[in-house]
Amino acid sequence: MIFHAFFLALGQIGDRRFRKVLFLGIGLTFALLVAAYAGFLVLIQVLVGEEATLPLLGEVRWLNELLSVSSFFLMIVLSVFLMIPVASAITSMFLDEVAQAVEDRHYPSLPPVPKVPFWDALRDTVNFLGVLIGANLLAFILYALFPPAAMFIFWGLNGFLLGREYFTLAAMRRLGRQGAKDLRARYVGTLWAAGTLMAIPLSVPLLNLVIPILGAATFTHIYHRIAAREQRARPT
């Protein structure tokens, strides 16, 4: 189910509407990474003074270093950690458009769905980002205690959280908030596996730029396949 859903999403890149959202998502993802990195440099200088020394960069003056070549490469390395919250934000912004493009091509018989109100979507995004950032900060304790397993802990934790969020957002369009939660609870293992397979490429610099939008499409397919399975399982 998971790999088939991913290849269906990958095969739709040629769709004009899907491609437009994909490229816009890549652009915004990169912009968010730059903004997050600029904030990182400012924070370093606030904490240590006007001049700080970092590996690869030497003395940091945030605006100059933000525009430097070495800074670009350091930002790419940091994207391994920054891309998880960025992916969450991008998905919340674009999932409705991506899901609609997927449904128009693969599930054309479905009735239209109302758009999620902006403030409801914003609330969900902020709430989930808080959980995501808090969980990853706490996970640094486990990284310190079990260094050889740190990357596996990172993938497992964020796979669980991303799978939970992506599926909930996809299912809410058709089932509402409570219906999405009830369905999610019955497929925790599948969603965790799918989220982990998404978290792994999110930790690969440059490749991680395209994953948020592909992930949104993949989880749309996963939702529809689970919904179809549930429908078949109901007594007639």
The conformation of residue 58, written as its DSSP 8-state character, comes to: E
Domain ranges of the chain: 2-233
Taking the C-alpha atoms of residue 22 and residue 212, their distance in angstroms, rounded to an integer, is: 9
Which residues, 6 or more positions from 165, have their beta carbon under 8 angstroms from its beta carbon?
Answer: 88, 91, 128, 132
Q: pLDDT tens, position by position, for the chain (236 residues)?
A: 888 998 898 888 888 877 887 787 778 777 877 777 777 666 656 655 555 555 544 555 544 554 455 556 666 666 667 777 777 777 777 788 888 889 988 998 888 887 777 677 777 777 777 888 888 888 888 888 888 888 899 899 989 988 998 899 899 888 888 899 999 999 999 999 999 998 898 888 777 778 888 888 999 999 999 998 888 877 66
Do the beta carbons of residue 218 and residue 18 sit within 8 Å?
no
Rounded to the nearest 10 degrees, the angle between the axes of helix 211-233 and helix 188-202 is 170
Taking the C-alpha atoms of residue 54 and residue 66, their distance in angstroms, rounded to an integer, is: 13
Q: What local confidence, expressed as pLDDT, does residue 77 receive?
A: 67
pTM passes above 0.85: no
Q: What local confidence, expressed as pLDDT, does residue 67 receive?
A: 45
At 82, the amino acid letter reads L
Which residues, 6 or more positions from 76, have their beta carbon under 8 angstroms from its beta carbon?
Answer: 205, 206
Taking the C-alpha atoms of residue 153 and residue 159, their distance in angstroms, rounded to an integer, is: 10
Taking the C-alpha atoms of residue 20 and residue 98, their distance in angstroms, rounded to an integer, is: 10
Do the beta carbons of residue 167 and residue 221 sit within 8 Å?
no
Task: Write the CA distances from 156 to 33, 84, 86, 193, 206, integer angstroms.
Answer: 23, 12, 18, 9, 21
Q: What local confidence, expressed as pLDDT, does residue 74 receive?
A: 65
List residues bridging with 52 in a β-sheet.
60
Q: What local confidence, expressed as pLDDT, does residue 63 receive?
A: 46
Q: What local confidence, expressed as pLDDT, does residue 40 receive?
A: 66
List residues bridging with 58 in a β-sheet.
54
Do the beta carbons of residue 179 and residue 171 sit within 8 Å?
yes
Q: What local confidence, expressed as pLDDT, does residue 236 receive?
A: 60
